[in-house]
Amino acid sequence: MVRYAEPGAVEWVESGGGPLIAVPETVLPFWTGADGGDAASDYDRACEVDGHVGLLPVGDRTALVLGDEPASTAYLAAHGSFVRWCAANSEEEALAGVAAALDTADWEPEVSWHVPGPVLLFDAAWPGAACDRADHVRVALDPGRYAVRAAEVRPGPETWLNVVQLRRLADR
């Protein structure tokens, strides 16, 4: 993980140029990343996601793909959101407008994501079994269903972010 400011303040994940993926810890061994031999790999499936977010089956669960931009990404628990730093002069500038941006965002249609608990966010090219050696962040989610929505926001003249917000839904 990358840190731009104080250690432990905000942890950012970067990719080698492709999408990031949030895989439930319970199914990490089933994500093979770019290892696929002659067949299409899990990474290839993640690259096919069109737009800011998509869901892919992994084992008996579903992973969340953060597509579109290979931007540095952090999870801000206070906002229940992944923040993708596309353009800003500093981390402080990137984070300063998040709260207002979430209130005024023009959201894309949301998807429903069921998670069994914590997920790991990492470069989709890495196999899940090896993500402990890769740039990753553990996101402590409570088990249940979440509404996931994404938006591109520009909270400042030189600041551009993609945000992916998770909102816990009532159990049925």
Q: Which domains does the chain have, with CATH numbers?
A: 12-168 (2.60.34)
Q: What is the DSSP letter of 14?
A: -
CB proximity list for 42: less than 8 A, separation 6 or greater: 31, 32, 33, 34, 36, 56, 58, 124
What is the model's pLDDT at position 72? 92
pTM summary value: 0.91
Q: How far is CA 73 from CA 21, 31, 36, in A?
A: 11, 20, 26
Encode pLDDT of 37-95 as tens digits: 667 899 999 999 988 999 999 999 999 999 877 889 999 999 999 999 999 999 999 99
